[in-house]
Amino acid sequence: MGEGKRIGLDVNNMMADIIGMPYGIDSEAVDALAPYAQMAQKSVRENRGKGMLGWTELPYNQAEIVDKIEAVAARVRERFDAFVVLGIGGSALGPIAVQQALNHLRWNELPPGKRNGPKLYVEDNIDPERMASLLDVIDVKRTCFNVITKSGATAETMSQYLIISELLRREVGEGFASHIIATTDKSRGNLIQLARAEGFETFIIPDGVGGRFSELSPVGLLAAAVCGIDIRAMLEGAKLMDATCQCGDVWQNPALLEAALQYVAMTDMGANIQVILPYADSLKSIADWFCQLWAESLGKNVTRKGMAVNVGQTPVKALGVTDQHSQLQMYTEGPYDKAVTFIKVEKFRAETAIPHGCEQFADVAFLGGKTHGQLIEAERQGTEYALCRAGRMNQTIVLPEISAYTIGQLLYFFEMTTAYMGELLDIDAFNQPGVEESKLASFAVLGDEGEKFARKREEMAGQAARREKYRL
Ligand code: PA5
């Protein structure tokens, strides 16, 4: 990765010959892993489009869907003041991340004339105060709701659907169905049945596209198009990244190199944590999206052959420069259990000049005549230096600019890296049994009548009794 509008990856500071021998990765360790990395790349390449690798084809197989998304988005923009996504996890983090990355940072607060689309709200929680607060600020008669759930059965999302559909029936009456767009699986779950029965506009999440790999499907593309984002450019960016991932040489394929380095960092160097550290407010939610992708895909307790393991690298999100004043102390002097991934932006979309002033204070006056862009990059470089000096592995993903094209590349890069890492760890990166367990237990707590929930209730009742001395 290198020139033009391509994103880049600079791994210098991960390596022992740059940051010092006991601290960085010996390039020979990467060479030793190269045959396994090549097998990982081959496996993903040969199985692309199949099983849970359906997402690899999203940049190529959605021509008609993109036309439909744009047509529906145009209608939504004309008719509604607000667009609300009801969804959680992979059905919410992508839409949030892309909106924050590619649209005005204060989009909802802009006057309508300065906003190329309705206000966007993504309701990815069921905090009762949050739903109440949403209803305080939107006019349901002027709002379109996009209910997104791949399984069509997620309690959080379906509970939101129940609340909103009842409200719409009450407030809008007969035409309420035209306020709801369903995005779901073609046959699985309840939402598709509801959509058919009620006549909701519907988008299908293709087979082989799990929640956290779905941003480049209608899950993410619809909200993006509604808010005026160039979704075709996003898909073009993903295509470009896919092309760079066709190579099995670990030193040539950026996603493969990234997976190999994190694998070695984790298994040989004890870097069980990866801190993702964008130096741009607009990429803060991309860090959130990455954390779900990395955590839910790779935190597993069994290999594909059924061997018990407990693997995965814990992702931690941070924001530059904000977290220099919060977490950085831990990263420079705490345990050697982390690798830091900077995301650097070469050219911001706006610049703020710092005026001259306070000449009596030299340490303030020197800022005059510089820009915030210069200051944030200087601070990023300063942090990078401090980490290197303390022998802390770090690397930088470089975005020449933040655009639909570079964000498409970035999302696909992270997805491909995750798939390769799953291969290297020999785990199923596309399931989430640990999450299922919590869902089952919650339903049992809520008193679901089903037999499996009754069994779970019984099991839960057998937990060790809580002791008063541990309750203060
Ligand atoms: O990545 C995943 O599969 C999950 O995080 C899901 O996106 C999340 O649990 C929501 O599931 P669903 O889209 O089925 O409502």
Q: Which residues contact 341 (CB under 8 A, 6 or more apart)?
A: 274, 275, 276, 277, 394, 395, 396, 397
- Find, among 209, 437, 434, the residue nearest to 302 by Cα: 434
The CA-based angle 248-310-10, given to 5 degrees, is 40
Contact (Cβ atoms closer than 8 angstroms) between residue 72 and residue 181: yes
Q: Which residue's CA is minimally distant from atom 5 of ligand 1?
A: 89
What torsion, rounded to 10 degrees, do the Cα atoms 385, 391, 397, 398 define? 20
What torsion, rounded to 10 degrees, do the Cα atoms 450, 455, 461, 463 define? -130
210 CA closest ligand 1 atom index: 3
pLDDT at site 440:
87
Centre of ligand 1 from the C-alpha of residue 18, in Å: 40
Q: How far apart are CA 156 and CA 173, in angstroms?
A: 25
Centre of ligand 1 from the C-alpha of residue 188, in Å: 13
Which member of 123, 156, 201, 296 is catalytic?
296
Q: How far apart are CA 125 and CA 138, in angstroms?
A: 17
Alpha carbon distance, N-terminus to C-terminus of the chain: 55
Q: What is the pLDDT of residues 261-288, one digit of tens each?
A: 999 999 999 999 999 999 999 999 999 9
**449 in helix, strand or coil?**
coil
Q: Which residue's CA is minimally distant from atom 12 of ligand 1?
A: 149
Six token digits for residue 284: 């803060």
156 CA closest ligand 1 atom index: 15
- Per-position pLDDT tens, the chain of length 472: 444 599 999 999 999 999 998 999 999 999 999 999 999 999 999 999 999 999 999 999 999 999 999 999 999 999 999 999 999 999 999 999 999 999 999 999 999 999 989 999 999 999 999 999 999 999 999 999 999 999 998 999 999 999 999 999 999 999 999 999 999 999 999 999 999 999 999 999 999 999 999 999 999 999 999 999 999 999 999 999 999 999 999 999 999 999 999 999 999 999 999 999 999 999 999 999 999 999 999 999 999 999 999 999 999 999 999 999 999 999 999 999 999 999 999 999 999 999 999 999 999 999 999 999 999 999 999 999 999 999 999 999 999 999 999 999 999 999 999 999 999 999 999 999 998 888 889 989 988 788 888 899 999 999 999 999 999 9
Q: Which residues contact 230 (CB under 8 A, 6 or more apart)?
A: 404
Six token digits for residue 242: 């896919």
213 CA closest ligand 1 atom index: 1
Contact (Cβ atoms closer than 8 angstroms) between residue 73 and residue 225: yes
87 CA closest ligand 1 atom index: 15
205 CA closest ligand 1 atom index: 13
Output Rg (C-alpha) for the chain, integer angstroms: 24
Distances (CA, A) of 11 to 180, 200, 224, 281, 339: 45, 48, 31, 23, 11
Active site residue 317: no
Centre of ligand 1 from the C-alpha of residue 250, in Å: 31
Centre of ligand 1 from the C-alpha of residue 152, in Å: 10
**149 in helix, strand or coil?**
strand
Which member of 64, 174, 305, 325 is catalytic?
325
Active site residue 372: no
Q: Which residue's CA is minimally distant from atom 3 of ligand 1?
A: 211
Q: Which residues approach ligand 1 with their CB closer than 6 A?
A: 88-91, 149-151, 154, 157, 210-212, 296, 432
184 CA closest ligand 1 atom index: 13
Q: Which residue's CA is minimally distant from atom 8 of ligand 1?
A: 89
Mutating to test ligand 1, I would choose from 52, 91, 292 the residue with most ligand atoms within 8 A of its C-beta, which is 91
- Find, among 192, 134, 185, 127, the residue nearest to 159 by Cα: 127
Q: What's the predicted TM-score (pTM) here?
A: 0.97
pLDDT at site 207:
96
Centre of ligand 1 from the C-alpha of residue 367, in Å: 46
Centre of ligand 1 from the C-alpha of residue 437, in Å: 14
Contact (Cβ atoms closer than 8 angstroms) between residue 231 and residue 225: yes
Helix residue ranges per DSSP H, 128-272? 128-137, 155-171, 191-198, 218-226, 231-244, 254-267
Contact (Cβ atoms closer than 8 angstroms) between residue 354 and residue 370: yes
435 CA closest ligand 1 atom index: 9
Active site residue 296: yes
Q: How far apart are CA 312 and CA 432, in angstroms?
A: 13
- Find, among 86, 206, 105, the residue nearest to 144 by Cα: 86
Q: How far apart are CA 412 and CA 59, in angstroms?
A: 9
Mutating to test ligand 1, I would choose from 154, 183, 418, 442 the residue with most ligand atoms within 8 A of its C-beta, which is 154
Centre of ligand 1 from the C-alpha of residue 88, in Å: 7
Centre of ligand 1 from the C-alpha of residue 377, in Å: 36
Q: How far apart are CA 259 and CA 369, in angstroms?
A: 42
Mutating to test ligand 1, I would choose from 85, 88, 207, 428 the residue with most ligand atoms within 8 A of its C-beta, which is 88
Q: How far apart are CA 448 and CA 456, in angstroms?
A: 10
Q: How far apart are CA 40 and CA 386, in angstroms?
A: 34
Q: Which residue's CA is minimally distant from atom 15 of ligand 1?
A: 149
